[in-house]
Structure 1
Amino acid sequence: MGDPSSSSASYIHMVQHLIEKCLIFHMSKEECMEALSKHANIKPVITSTVWNELEKENKEFFEAYARTKGDRMSEEETSQMIQKMISDSSTKDANDD
């Protein structure tokens, strides 16, 4: 079998990636914990721990994030942002070939 520490590192990296997706949707820590528990079967304590570490490492970002938290995007704005991300991503992928 593979190295257990590398599989736990990749699991934590996956949780971090999912938290970053939650941040795009302006979710609070609690909303993110609930969403990942429900949709990705990740225990809230794990999401909370990874979130806390991200907060420690990115203090300025999370302070700014907390200030803008009240300025949630409308569903239409969120949808437009996702479409733009998908379009940018597919353009980038095409350029990588």
Structure 2
Amino acid sequence: MGDSSSASYIHMVHHLIEKCLIFRMSKEECMEALSKHANIKPVITSTVWNELEKENKEFFEEYAQSRSKDDRMS
């Protein structure tokens, strides 16, 4: 894979993770969904997710808190 195709692949994974976030999935659920439906290895999804967490720390902290509130309400 060349640099541009690697970058576009990572960008695609990033976009798919954002879709998972809209559906309020956990990291593990997202990894499973992308593996099953988009044939993306869980380690790739995990790596991109971790990078997104580093870049958007506050968002992911709030996301985790709101997901745990949802879990308590159900």
TM-score for both structures, normalised by structure 2: 0.85
> Which consecutive unaligned segments of at least 5 residues does structure 2 have?
none
Query: For residues 59 and 12 of structure 2, what CA distance do their matches in structure 1 show?
Result: 20
Q: 1:69 to 1:58 in 2, by over 3 A?
A: farther
**Number of equivalent positions:** 71
After TM superposition, give the deviation of residue 71 of structure 1 in Å.
5.9
Per the alignment, in what secondary structure is the counterpart of residue 34 of structure 1?
Answer: helix
Runs of 4+ in 1 over 4 A off after TM superposition: none
TM-score for both structures, normalised by structure 1: 0.65
After TM superposition, give the deviation of residue 26 of structure 1 in Å.
0.2
Q: 1:2 to 1:9 in 2, by over 3 A?
A: closer
How big is each residue's C-alpha offset from its partner over 1:2-33, in whole Å with a ceiling of 9 and x where there is no partner?
75xx0000000000000000000000000000
How big is each residue's C-alpha offset from its partner over 1:31-70, in whole Å with a ceiling of 9 and x where there is no partner?
0000000000000000000000000000000000005662
Question: Over aligned residues, Cα RMSD in angstroms?
Answer: 5.5
> Which consecutive unaligned segments of at least 5 residues does structure 1 have?
73-96
> Percent of aligned positions with the same letter in both sequences?
92
